[in-house]
């Protein structure tokens, strides 16, 4: 009984911190040309993993960072201002959350397999059968093993970030799947009732 309570408490904390992250981002200061500090370094690091910032992290928001932000904004459907207003920060948070799921769930898979996992998150957002925001999909109870077992908190690599980028730009190797699973590690046979679409690596994708 004690272990069950610990697991439940852990899941509540994960959900709390996930939603708190979005709330904090909404009230974070804008970053723009001339800004400095840890927030700028973290921004540059994320942009670098996404493939937009192609030099060393400096913690200084200069023309190189501004251009990287503009490229990010254009690719992710945010107004290309060159500074990180609320919409840009919110999108960066969504990318970070998705990258954590992809890294936790598919870091041993091919790049195509990683894009497919990211696409499943977006397909769930678009489906009336699931919550309608990225954060709610990710933190829906028992939706993702990586959230349940803590792998969500591992630091995602560049491959996970770029897989999210490609999925959010429209790539969907899963062909519209809203589920995926590794049949060798299934603990609930219910998943086998879903309509199989295809296999990518060790993951089966289904609708």
| CATH number of the domain that residue 90 is part of | 1.10.10.2520
Domain contains 50: no
In-domain check, residue 49: no
Find the domain containing 158 and state its range: 2-30+85-109+132-169
Q: What string of pLDDT tens digits covers the 207 residues of the chain?
A: 444 444 444 544 455 555 555 555 555 689 999 999 999 999 999 999 999 999 999 999 999 999 999 999 999 999 999 999 999 999 999 999 999 999 999 999 999 999 999 999 999 999 999 999 999 999 999 999 999 999 999 999 999 999 999 999 999 999 999 999 999 988 888 999 999 999 999 999 999
What's the total number of domains in the chain? 1
In a domain, 79, yes or no: no
Count each helix (H run) and each strand (E run) in the chain, helices first. Answer: 8, 3
Q: Has residue 114 been placed in a domain?
A: no
Q: Is 149 within the bounds of a domain? A: yes
Strands 196-200 and 179-181: unpaired
What is 93-152 written as a DSSP string? HHHHHHHHHHHHHHTTS-HHHHHHHHHHHHHHHHSTTS-SSHHHHHTSTTS-HHHHHSGG
Q: For residue 60, give the DSSP letter.
A: B
In a domain, 67, yes or no: no
For residue 137, tell me if it sits in a domain. yes
In a domain, 202, yes or no: no
Nearest residue to 121 (alpha-carbon basis) of 108, 110, 103, 109: 103
């Amino acid at each position: 009984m004690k272990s069950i309570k610990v697991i439940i408490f852990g899941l509540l904390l994960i959900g709390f911190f996930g939603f708190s992250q979005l709330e904090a981002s909404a009230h974070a200061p804008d970053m723009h040309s001339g800004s400095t500090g840890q927030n700028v370094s973290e921004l540059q690091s994320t942009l670098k993993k996404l493939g937009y910032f192609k030099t060393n992290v400096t913690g200084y928001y200069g023309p190189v960072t501004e251009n990287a932000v503009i490229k990010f904004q254009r690719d992710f459907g945010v107004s290309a201002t060159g500074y990180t207003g609320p919409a840009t920060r919110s999108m960066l948070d969504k990318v970070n959350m998705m990258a954590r799921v992809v890294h936790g769930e598919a870091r041993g898979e091919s790049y195509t397999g990683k894009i497919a996992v990211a696409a499943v998150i977006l397909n769930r957002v678009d489906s009336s059968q699931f919550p309608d925001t990225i954060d709610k999909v990710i933190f829906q109870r028992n939706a993702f093993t990586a959230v349940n077992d803590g792998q969500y908190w591992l630091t995602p690599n560049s491959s996970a970030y770029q897989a999210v980028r490609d999925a959010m730009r429209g790539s969907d190797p899963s062909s519209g799947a809203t589920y995926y699973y590794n049949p060798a590690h299934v603990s609930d046979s219910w998943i086998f009732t879903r309509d199989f679409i295809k296999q990518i690596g060790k993951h089966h994708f289904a609708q």
